[in-house]
Every structure is written in structure tokens, then in C-alpha cells.
Amino acid sequence: MAGFQVFNRTTGDHFTCQEGQSVLKAMEQLGMKCVPVGCRGGGCGFCKIRVLEGDFECGKMSKAHAPPEAVEKGEVLACRIYPRTDLIIECVPLPEAALAKQTTTKPLR
Amino acid sequence: MKKGVMRPGHVQIRVLDMGEAVKHYTELLGMIETDRDDQGRVYLKAWTEVDKFSLVLREADEPGCDFMGFKVVDEDTLVTLEKDLVAYGVEVEQVPAEELKDCGRRVRFTVPSGHAFELYADKKYTGKWGVSSVNPEAWPRGLQGMKAVRFDHCLFYGPELAAVYDIFVNVLGFDLAEQVLDPEGTRIAQFLTVSMKEHDIAFIHHEEKGKFHHASFFLETWEDVLRAADLISMTDTSIDIGPTRHGLTHGKTIYFFDPSGNRNEVFCGGDYFYPDHKPVTWQAEQLGKAIFYHDRVLNERFLTVLT
Ligand code: FES
Ligand SMILES: [Fe+2]
């Protein structure tokens, strides 16, 4: 079968990603939720992951959420990476700003 | 009380890839490209708008909103409002005429929520696109996609809503049309208007400064909103939520993202506002229904995904 296997080490999930498809889109299409989905455009930083093993191509990503230093370390946005090999990924804890957002929005419920 | 601010005039949005962005705003939203400048910015307008542009796209390595501009009735008003802002302790910056092509001088200021706004009095009047101003037909042929009618409003996320309220209401003459109050009575959302619309700009409380939630474009009917939803699927565009109705303003709406992750809204309907209207209040406990009237639950992505 065509495509690449993506294994999420944090959650133990794995799914197939077709060539030319973003990791986030592949996950969403299979109804999985192991990476948070935001804008799907490399803009919001919600889908941040760390790639531990494997090769991929990168689309354009917001520098605020994927600065070059982080990309070097494999910290990328799942909506903007396209596997070239099988990948092993892990979830990256949301940055403080995002956590602050969540705590401020909680009392609103 | 009205102070001569007339309406939202423009918004400058940062995009990661200009080609993709122009395609999105023209082919999907149905806006018309009217110009480009030597900085590489692209100018667009919706067809019913009489001035040359309402949306400016700037390519950058981080998406978001650079500023939103409001048109004031004339130069005298601009001079007065500038003085009033300074007297109120707001720092203003002069942006010379033609910094945006065919736009007069702009007075720029940043409010405590971290967002930049501008006032200006002049912009090139090009008339509605594709229809004459004499015996005009109902609509022009050749519009694409959602056929957006006009740029309508923006929603921003940031702190210090009370200070922002003071500037917009006390200095610029906006009215509070709707608000969300938490149990202690603190305003955590404010929908402000300078017209008969239920909002021309809105703010929701958020710790981080200067975040952009969405730019919104007006459509005429619910059928148009459904058709927009079809187009979002046909083009495999990233959808956020909808079609649905808001409790706040009661507009009928759909949210989606541009290719750089900036949120867009197209909507129709909604309440109207006259200056004798008292603000409508939503209780924070009812925020789910206030935002999405049908689901009546909050959607995490809607509250936290920003550029
Ligand atoms: S979902 Fe927004 S950056 Fe990937
Ligand atoms: Fe809106």
C-alpha cells in the first residue's frame, strides 16, 4: 500500500499518510485526534509536534510558532509537513501562551 | 455619541504566501484585486464598496493582522479626533498619504489590548465594482466564489477591554451594542458599533496581547452562507465551524481559515442598532449559546486558535 506510516509515540496512535498529504490532514481524515487541530494553515501553532525519526518536507509555517531553531530540532507544525519516509512523532506540550489562553477561557464556560 | 467615525475602511492582514492568499481572497471570497504596491502588498475590495480597497495583504513570516482602519467623515474630523486621542493620552503615529496607494494620511494608534488602528478621511473613490452609479443593475456579472458584499468587521483578542472600551466609546464615539459579563460583572467581550450594524468591531478578553480572531465579510442571505459552505468543501478549504447562528448579534455565519491560518467569517443577517438602544448582555455562564446559538457549547478551537 502506498503512503507512509506515522507513529505518535505520546499517544501510541499510528496512521497512514499519503504522499503529498500533510500529517495533520491524514490524521483528521481517519477520524483520529492525537494532535490538536487548529487553522490547518501553519498559522496558529496548535498542531505542533516533534519529529523524532524520519524525513519530511515543510510548507510555510509561522515563525512565531516554528522558528528556525525549533525546526532544526524537529519541532514543526503537523499541518505543514509532508512525509518522505515513515515518521515517529511526539506531542509537544502547548507553549505557556497557549496554556494561559486555556486557563483564561475556562471560567467562561 | 457620534464623533465622525463613519465605518470600517480597511484591514491589513499578513499572509505566509501571497499567491495562495490572493487566490483565496479572490477566487473563494470573491473579492476583486485592485492594485499592488512596490512593497509587494496586494489591495482588494468587495464589489459593493465604493472606495478602492478594503483589504490589504502583506506577505510576512508570521500571519495575523497589522492594523484595521476606520474612515472618518472629513479632514477636520480627523484633526479633531487626533487631538482628542492625544488629549486622552493615546500615542499617535502619522502615516503619510500614499503609504497605502490612493489613501490619504492616516493617524495610527495602538490600544491597550495590543491592536493597532488607524483613522483616515480620504481614499480614492472608485465606485461599486461592475455596476454604474447611474441606473445601476442589481449586481455585476463575473463575480467569483462567495461574492462577498463588503468587508464588515473584525474580532480581536487581547487584555484590558475596559481601557479599550474607553478609547472607542469615549474618544471615538462608538456605542456598546452587546457585551458578555462574567459573574463578577467584568466585561469579557464587547461588541462596538459606529453605525446601524450590531458591530463594527469586537473584542474578547484574552491574556496575550494583539491577537487576531477573524475578519468578516457580509453576504446577503442564508442561502449565500450555505453556498459559501459548499464552496469551502469544493475547494477543500480549512473549515472552522458552521453554518450556524450566533447568539451574540444573532448573525448567521460560517468560519473558515485562509491558507496562512487567519480566520475568516462570512455571515448574513443579525440585529440592528440605533443610538437609543441599550446594550444587550450575555452572561458568561451562557457563553456557549452566546457564541454558537444552536450547539450551545463552546468550541475550544474557536476560543483559542488565533493568529
Ligand atoms: S493547525 Fe494551525 S498551525 Fe497547524
Ligand atoms: Fe464576526
Q: Do A108 and B284 touch (CB under 8 A)?
A: yes
CB contacts, 8 Å: B63 with chain A: 41, 43, 62
Q: Name the grid cell of B14.
A: 499578513
Per-residue confidence (pLDDT) for residue A94, from 0 to 100: 64
Per-residue confidence (pLDDT) for residue B5, from 0 to 100: 98
Nearest to B103 by CA among B60, B149, B71, B150: B71
Say yes or no to pLDDT of A107 above 80.
no
Say yes or no to pLDDT of A105 above 80.
no
Q: Do B63 and A41 touch (CB under 8 A)?
A: yes
> A43 in ligand 1 pocket by Cβ < 6 Å?
yes
Per-residue confidence (pLDDT) for residue A95, from 0 to 100: 54
| Predicted confidence band of residue B1 (pLDDT cuts 50, 70, 90) | confident
Residues A52-77 pLDDT 10s: 999 999 999 999 999 999 999 999 99
Per-residue confidence (pLDDT) for residue A30, from 0 to 100: 94
Say yes or no to pLDDT of B173 above 90.
yes
Q: What is the arithmetic mean of pLDDT over A45-53? A: 97
Q: Do B303 and A98 touch (CB under 8 A)?
A: no
- Based on the residue annotation, tell me whether B214 is a catalytic residue of this protein: yes
Q: Active-site residue among B24, B115, B199, B205?
A: B199
Instruction: Name the minimum distance, in Å, from the CA of B62 to any CA of chain A.
Output: 4
Nearest CB neighbour to A101, from listed B17, B208, B284: B208
- CA B272 to ligand 1 centroid distance, Å: 35
Q: What is the arithmetic mean of pLDDT over B205-221? A: 98
Residues A7-36 pLDDT 10s: 999 999 999 999 999 999 999 999 999 999
Q: Which helix (H) or strand (E) holds A7?
A: strand A4-8
Per-residue confidence (pLDDT) for residue A101, from 0 to 100: 46
Q: CB within 5 A of ion ligand 2: which residues?
A: B 216, 265
- Based on the residue annotation, tell me whether B255 is a catalytic residue of this protein: yes
Q: Name the grid cell of B184.
A: 463578577
Which residues fall within 8 angstroms of residue A109, CB to CB, at 6 or more apart?
B287, B288, B298
Per-residue confidence (pLDDT) for residue B187, from 0 to 100: 97
Look at strands B64-72 and B32-36 and give their pairing: unpaired
Q: Do A40 and B306 touch (CB under 8 A)?
A: no
Q: What is the mean pLDDT of chain B?
A: 97
The residue contributing the CA closest to ligand 1 atom 3 is A42
Residues B95-106 pLDDT 10s: 999 999 999 999
> A77 in ligand 1 pocket by Cβ < 6 Å?
yes
Task: Say if residues A58 and A76 touch (Cβ distance below 8 Å).
Answer: yes
Phi (first) and psi of residue B142, to 5 degrees: 90, 10
Nearest CB neighbour to A108, from listed B188, B306, B307: B188
| Predicted confidence band of residue A1 (pLDDT cuts 50, 70, 90) | low
Task: Say if residues B88 and B167 touch (Cβ distance below 8 Å).
Answer: yes
Say yes or no to pLDDT of A97 above 90.
no
Per-residue confidence (pLDDT) for residue A100, from 0 to 100: 47
Q: Name the grid cell of B240.
A: 472552522
Q: Do B284 and A101 touch (CB under 8 A)?
A: no
Higher pLDDT, A103 or B178: B178
Say yes or no to pLDDT of A103 above 90.
no
Say yes or no to pLDDT of B300 above 90.
no
Residues B32-64 pLDDT 10s: 999 999 999 999 999 999 999 999 999 999 999
- Based on the residue annotation, tell me whether B265 is a catalytic residue of this protein: yes
> A36 in ligand 1 pocket by Cβ < 6 Å?
no
Q: Active-site residue among B153, B220, B223, B277?
A: B153
Edge to edge, the sheet with strand B42-45 lists B32-36, B42-45, B55-59, B5-15, B64-72, B116-120, B106-110, B92-95
Partners of B205 in the β-ladder: B158
Which residues fall within 8 angstroms of residue B131, CB to CB, at 6 or more apart?
B47, B137, B139, B140
CB contacts, 8 Å: B301 with chain A: 37-38, 46
Task: Say if residues A73 and A108 touch (Cβ distance below 8 Å).
Answer: no
Per-residue confidence (pLDDT) for residue B298, from 0 to 100: 85
Per-residue confidence (pLDDT) for residue B103, from 0 to 100: 98
Per-residue confidence (pLDDT) for residue B224, from 0 to 100: 98
Per-residue confidence (pLDDT) for residue A2, from 0 to 100: 79
Instruction: Name the minimum distance, in Å, from the CA of B21 to any CA of chain A.
Output: 11
Amino acid code (one letter) for A28: E
Q: How far is residue B138's CA from residue B305's CA, in Å, rounded to a whole number?
A: 38
Task: Say if residues A63 and A54 touch (Cβ distance below 8 Å).
Answer: no
Q: How far is residue A41's CA from residue A82's CA, in Å, rounded to a whole number?
A: 13
